[in-house]
Structure 1
Amino acid sequence: MISKATKMEERIPVAAVVGPTASGKSWLAVELALRYDGEVVSADSMQIYTGMTIGTAKPTVDEMRGVPHHLIDFVDPHTPFSVADYVKLAAQCVADVHARGRLPILAGGTGLYVRSFLQNLQFTKEDRDDALRAALKKRAEEEGVQVLMDELRCIDPESAARLHPNNLGRVIRAIEIYRTTGQTMTQQIAHSRREPSPYNACVIGLDFLDRDKLYARINRRVDEMLDAGLEEEARQSLAQSASTARQAIGYKEWIPYFQGACTRDEVAENIKRETRRYAKRQLTWFRRDEGVHWLHVDDYPDGAALVSAAQVILDEWRDNG
């Protein structure tokens, strides 16, 4: 039974702009915020960290165009930060924006953040086991990630099928949950969905009919990051020994370069390749959600036409309550 607080007319309206990296999410979110008196709440798992600005494509002050942005650049890379932390902080931000009579606009490509927040997933309070995490990470380094994937497949086949081997942190987390609680991550996710969502969401997804156009944008963005000083930013971030930087695209690719094992051009190509692969994974994630209203960026002659198409979707959503 849905409580009074979660009846449709009392649910908080939240717009969201999702999609792959370099598709124009941040830009469109700002354009919509300017038209609907909104504020942007970031849903990017890397833009939360301080000191990692260029490589995570944080919007500049000029790009924000006076629109307030939240949950960007506020966590030290050495500080653990979970999905549960994000959901809690995003809920506070959205409630505050709504209380001021403005429209919260979620913007970002971290699908787990977006889904967990909009679906109001409830997370348990179990303690972390840092020693176990360290042991599992060391095992992955010595024996390979596949060893952990095989273990996870035995205890939680659903999570093993859902998680990508490259996402070592989530694989370790899934094993940690089982060993510390006796429940699988899949069971916890099912349990977390028992509370109805207090949000009335409209999700707009950006994609491209011609995938090569998206890849060209990714390549161009990486070149712009290099020109803006990504090499020095990566050097400083990696020098701090932050595990976050050592796992992040745009940073970890510099490690062999700083060790003299590859050229700068090879670093650039590796970043572009890894970013393209990440974009494919993002699209796979968001396409699982049948509620996304997809717009193909290359289907419109210019940005103004794209914004108009997004406005049609938002206007219909607002009219329908």
Structure 2
Amino acid sequence: MVNEKENVIVMIGPTAVGKTKLSIELAKKINGEIISGDSMQIYKGMDIGTAKIKRDEMEGIPHHLIDIKEPTESFSVAQFQALVRPLITEISNRGKVPMIVGGTGLYIQSVIYDYKFTESNTNEALRIELEKKVESVGRLSLYEQLKKVDPVSAQKIHPNNVRRVIRALEIYYDTGKKMSEIEETNQHDPIYNVALIGLTMDRSILYKRINERVDLMVEEGLVEEVKCLYDQGLRDCQSIQAIGYKELYDYFNGNQTLDEAIEALKQNSRRYAKRQLTWFRNKMDVKWFDMTPPITLDEKLNEIFQYVAGKFYVKEN
């Protein structure tokens, strides 16, 4: 628990809305350091598909929680919270302004609010048993099981998110409590002094940008990047469930053509952007800034800086 409220800037928004460039410019203006709030940019070797910032794009701004895990490793929202909160204090103690930038809503929510996780510690034996059940009867059977014991959680969790389905079942069978009931007890008062910035854009323009970004990713070598992971034998890993990777795995497995895989990637990215906006609007108290052209980055940067300065005092570099 944080004893004194530290200043934290959070910049959220859907994929392709322009968070990366704007966050760099804001960080330069306020002497900030950026903590990645993306659940997939933590993985090494997954650069193009996660739209990971390149070294030269950082413009000297320190970035944290990028490339900290191997693609074979799992990563949870609880681990993210445990890493980010001390990092916020460390950055603040150096006289810098911590900025969390990303699009994974639950991860960011877990940090800035008094978000406590379930009482259940990992029950390794139970987890292994549930994982074996996935192999023997399939993920949908396990999801149906979750729908029976905790329908509220089942409604929130996608059937393909096997890790979350297993975790919800593990909590239920280990504690006798539903994950949804435990999460309901979480307080949603910020434990930091937060300037919560949301970037949005006209939907049709955003979708066009997403499609163009996917085409650029393919040009930059996305297919080759994913093929490298595929050739290493990575299967059924949390990392490979990421958009941009699972679609191309379908192509490598012979389930669809490359054109079909790329089209599926575009469609899934657009759907994800829509889900991101819905999450942010329903779950977080966000100050929204419209990035729809012809607004310029400089104009929007000044508007956001004024908002941040009104929330807490920051010196302009």
**Partner amino acid for 1:291?**
D
Deviation at 1:220, TM superposition (A): 1.1
1-structure distance, mates of 2:207, 2:302: 24
Alignment-derived partner of residue 249 in structure 1: 243
The alignment's TM-score, normalised by the length of structure 1, stands at: 0.89
2-structure distance, mates of 1:311, 1:112: 25
**Partner amino acid for 2:206?**
L
1-structure distance, mates of 2:127, 2:267: 29
Q: How does 1:1-321 map to 2 (within 5 A)?
A: 6=3, 10-124=4-118, 126-137=120-131, 139-140=133-134, 145-193=139-187, 197-208=190-201, 210-240=202-232, 241-242=234-235, 243-298=237-292, 300-318=294-312
Could you list the runs of 5+ residues in structure 1 that have no partner in the other structure? none
2-structure distance, mates of 1:144, 1:103: 46
More displaced stretch, 28-37 vs 148-157: 148-157
1-structure distance, mates of 2:253, 2:312: 54
SS state of the match for residue 287, structure 1? Answer: helix
Query: Cα deviations across residues 209-262 of structure 1 (Å, max 9, x unaligned)?
Result: x21111111111111111111111101112331513431111111123223343
Deviation at 1:30, TM superposition (A): 1.1
User: How many positions carry a matched residue from both structures?
Assistant: 312
2-structure distance, mates of 1:214, 1:140: 37
2-structure distance, mates of 1:290, 1:107: 15
1-structure distance, mates of 2:98, 2:208: 31
**Partner amino acid for 1:28?**
L
Query: Cα deviations across residues 14-48 of structure 1 (Å, max 9, x unaligned)?
Result: 00100111111122211110111000011110001
**Partner amino acid for 1:206?**
L
**Partner amino acid for 1:176?**
E
**Partner amino acid for 2:7?**
P
Query: Cα deviations across residues 102-129 of structure 1 (Å, max 9, x unaligned)?
Result: 1100000000101010013223564424
Q: Tell me if structure 1 keeps the 8 A contact 2:118–2:179.
A: no
1-structure distance, mates of 2:60, 2:98: 15
2-structure distance, mates of 1:284, 1:167: 19
More displaced stretch, 148-157 vs 287-296: 148-157
Q: Tell me if structure 1 keeps the 8 A contact 2:43–2:239.
A: no
Deviation at 1:159, TM superposition (A): 1.7
**Partner amino acid for 2:144?**
D
SS state of the match for residue 55, structure 1? Answer: coil
Deviation at 1:282, TM superposition (A): 0.8
2-structure distance, mates of 1:300, 1:317: 27
2-structure distance, mates of 1:317, 1:300: 27
> CA distance change for structure 1 residues 244 and 290 in 2, over 3 Å: closer, same or farther?
closer
SS state of the match for residue 205, structure 1? Answer: strand
Q: Tell me if structure 1 keeps the 8 A contact 2:168–2:179.
A: yes
Q: Tell me if structure 1 keeps the 8 A contact 2:91–2:97.
A: yes
More displaced stretch, 42-51 vs 298-307: 298-307
**Partner amino acid for 1:258?**
F
> CA distance change for structure 1 residues 138 and 302 in 2, over 3 Å: closer, same or farther?
farther
Could you list the runs of 5+ residues in structure 2 that have no partner in the other structure? none
2-structure distance, mates of 1:20, 1:133: 33
Give the alignment's Cα RMSD to 1 decimal: 2.4
> CA distance change for structure 1 residues 149 and 124 in 2, over 3 Å: closer, same or farther?
closer
Deviation at 1:285, TM superposition (A): 0.7
Deviation at 1:163, TM superposition (A): 2.6
